[in-house]
């Protein structure tokens, strides 16, 4: 039997990236003592009022078909939220709703690029980005995000990789897996390149409400000079601790959303009305859990950095937002992939940095989403493991 070429383009880009996570789950099921620090699920349940809103909508019969753009009340709520957030007026025609950020990314890339085109994206990158780009037929062009620049995309690195085939720049800010945030100056420089080369900017902003204290955040949506070429995607998965509801959206120019609408209608005809009703409440009321989650994640990142750097020669990159922290593994003599598998044998599951691109060859990603006692226990195991592999400070070795 013959398969479409998309299956070849996506081969190896699915579950293979999550092999350590899958193995950890399998060992736990067999009774192994392993602390999971792999995936980024919120550390609290879905707020009770959002569950109630969903159930109420179901009982009210909100189970009929929707439409390709989304339910009117949700579109109104999104327009009001973004108009209050950024110095622009947004209207319902600036939005389309989707089942989560992932679907929105897939659709937006499909509308921006195709076979023969190129999409520029920071390396490291979220694990599914390569897949959503390749699915369109376009080629992935990695732009290095360097530790010495705080893992923020630099305009010079981007400019060096732009070609006549370039069609879009995929940004993530706050970034997964590094937790870095692009500054206004970064975005302005990137925007100038986008205007000069007629490129789309697609900005994944799912972590927007998990920015740490003392850190400034802005979006390319806030820059009027590039408003006609910026599309953003987001969801309630992280901000409202509701990943399983799969409720997201894209926001962009009216012309873009109008062009994307037939694709959305072909794919899925919007999100379910009962979930749209819950999401409308979530957007209008704001998150009741984001601030406390963010405080816990920042505190855990700080404890991890302080304890590990005090006791070992491992390097911890402090994030500015999000649910993750990075540990550089060079001091152990192991690259990130080998380190993650070896650490799994010592009772802690983390993600190899190479699951997010070649730029994290000597790093691992650590989730900050487990409760404090388990988190602290895992940190002690990481320290013991590092010492066993010679990553010990000189004063402790004598």
What pLDDT, in 10s, does the model give residues 160-208? Answer: 999 999 999 999 999 999 999 999 999 999 999 999 999 999 999 999 9
What pLDDT, in 10s, does the model give residues 97-112? Answer: 999 999 999 999 999 9
**In terms of residues, how long is the chain?**
398
**Phi, psi dihedrals of residue 364, rounded to the nearest 5°:** -130, 155
**Phi, psi dihedrals of residue 121, rounded to the nearest 5°:** -145, 145
Judge if pTM exceeds 0.85: yes
pLDDT of residue 395: 54
396 pLDDT band, cuts 50/70/90, is: low
What pLDDT, in 10s, does the model give residues 263-272? Answer: 999 988 878 9
- Using CA atoms of 253, 259, 263, 264 in order, give the dihedral in degrees to the nearest 10: 40
Strand pairing class (139-144; 351-352): unpaired
pLDDT at 87 exceeding the cut of 80: yes
**Distance in angstroms (rounded) separating the CA atoms of residues 49 and 288:** 10
308: closest CA among 248, 378, 238? 378
* Domains and their CATH numbers in the chain: 5-45+289-393 (3.90.1150.10), 48-285 (3.40.640.10)
pLDDT of residue 11: 83
């Amino acid at each position: 039997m013959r398969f479409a070429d998309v299956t070849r383009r996506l081969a190896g880009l699915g579950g293979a990236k999550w092999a350590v996570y899958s193995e950890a789950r399998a060992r736990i099921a067999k009774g192994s003592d392993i602390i999971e620090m792999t995936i980024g699920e919120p550390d609290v349940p879905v707020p009770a009022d959002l569950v109630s809103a969903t159930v109420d909508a179901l009982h009210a019969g909100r189970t009929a078909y929707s439409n390709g753009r989304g339910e009117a009340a949700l579109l109104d709520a999104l327009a009001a939220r973004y108009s209050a957030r950024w110095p622009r007026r947004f209207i319902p025609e600036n939005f389309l709703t989707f089942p989560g950020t992932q679907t929105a990314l897939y659709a937006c890339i499909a509308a921006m690029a195709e076979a023969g085109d190129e999409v520029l994206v920071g390396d490291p990158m979220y694990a599914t980005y390569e897949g959503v780009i390749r699915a369109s037929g376009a080629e992935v062009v990695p732009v290095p995000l360097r530790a010495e620049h705080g893992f923020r995309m630099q305009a010079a690195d981007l400019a060096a990789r732009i070609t006549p085939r370039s069609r879009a720049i995929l940004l993530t800010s706050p970034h997964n897996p590094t937790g870095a945030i692009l500054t206004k100056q970064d975005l302005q420089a990137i925007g100038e390149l986008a205007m000069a080369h007629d490129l789309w900017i697609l900005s994944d902003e799912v972590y927007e409400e998990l920015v740490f204290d003392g850190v400034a955040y802005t979006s390319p949506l806030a820059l009027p000079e590039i408003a006609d070429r910026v599309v953003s995607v987001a969801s309630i998965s992280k901000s409202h601790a509701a990943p399983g509801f799969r409720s997201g959206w894209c926001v962009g120019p009216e012309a873009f959303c109008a062009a994307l609408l037939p694709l959305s209608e072909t794919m899925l005809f919007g999100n379910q009305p009962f979930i749209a009703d819950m999401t409308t409440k979530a957007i209008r009321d704001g998150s009741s859990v984001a601030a406390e989650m963010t405080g816990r994640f920042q505190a855990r990142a700080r404890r991890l950095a302080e304890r590990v750097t005090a006791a070992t020669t491992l390097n911890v990159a402090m994030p500015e937002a999000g649910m993750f922290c990075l540990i550089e593994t060079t001091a152990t003599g192991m690259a990130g992939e080998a380190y993650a598998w070896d650490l799994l044998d010592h009772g802690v599951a983390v993600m190899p940095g190479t699951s997010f691109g070649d730029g994290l060859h000597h790093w691992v990603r650590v989730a900050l989403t487990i409760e404090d006692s388990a988190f602290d226990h895992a940190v002690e195991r990481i320290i013991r493991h590092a010492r066993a592999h010679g990553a010990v400070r000189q004063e402790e070795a004598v």
